[in-house]
Structure 1
Amino acid sequence: MKNILDIPRTAMEVFNLLPEGTLCEVIDNTLYMSPSPTTDHQRILFDLAYQIRSLTKDANLGEVFIAPCDVYLDAEQNVVQPDIIYIKKERADIIQKKGIYGAPDLVIEILSSNKNYDKEKKFELYRRNSIPEYIIVDADSKEVLHYLLIEGTYQQQAYPEAGHMVVNQLSITLTF
């Protein structure tokens, strides 16, 4: 008689069975699969990550990661793969071999196909996990939605020009 494997009962259990590198996230016990990003998305991702990485490495400010890199939130009940993740040097203990365990200091999401997912689901997840700075970039229009966490609420910052942003965590202006 053969042993029957335990059937996964939660989205996180299913997530843990997926092969490494799968574009998949779990938010509030729901599994979200993503298609590969567009070439415009990839161009912006590379430009922004390169600029942030150059600054943080030269000044020894912290670490930068790009997707796919798992970020575990809500006591490991949710896992997301933000496009760009920044963790200050003094908080490096949340960086582990399998991913980031806890709230990064900065998350940047570049919108591709399902724009409301980043603007609503992830927005609320990042707010409730007290991520201090959340930036959303629309790959098509280069519009920037920039949020700073102030007293538990995200306050939107204004940017009159597309393709420019100020990263408060690093006190830098980026162009893309």
Structure 2
Amino acid sequence: MGGGKPLRPFGQTTLVGHAIARARRWSPIVAVAVRTRDQLPRELDAPAILDDPAIPGPAAGLASAFAFAASVNAPRVLTLACDAPRLPDDLLERLEAALGGAGAAVASSLGRLHPTCALWRTDCAGRLPAYLATGASLRGFAADCGMTSVDWDAGPEGDPFANANTPEDLAALQPDADPDFDT
């Protein structure tokens, strides 16, 4: 769907607006990391952090999240993907319970890791530049940080980490597609 994905309509808002509202259920401190400012609405109810264009893929968002966490002296940072609008209500609670001494607690469902939906210790930030130089994935970085995974089952509404990669995916995830979905 391209770089404009955060602005795609979702229910009565946009994917990014919905992600901010969900994140605020877990913390009053919320920021949004994007590649370019045009991926966001003119009025945004959270600080916007522009990703470093030299960092590829989702790792750029994590680097931005680490930088923001450092600016507010946070020891941990919860990362969410705005294109996964059905995240479970107990996401932070279960990730925190599992974190222990690990560097990251990463969500998992249906046998797949979701490193964009994870709780990271900010002391992993110092490892990120060297790791990125290897060209490896965010999954690999999570493993390098000593991650633990937390598994969620698919419920009646499907995978809680399903993401909208196509217009058809987004249509299927819309709140009006499931009357029991709590936005």
Of the two, which has the highest radius of gyration?
A: 1
Fold agreement, TM-score > 0.5: no
Higher strand share: 1
TM-score (ref. length: structure 1): 0.32
Q: Which has the higher contact order (CA 8 A, sep 6+)?
A: 2
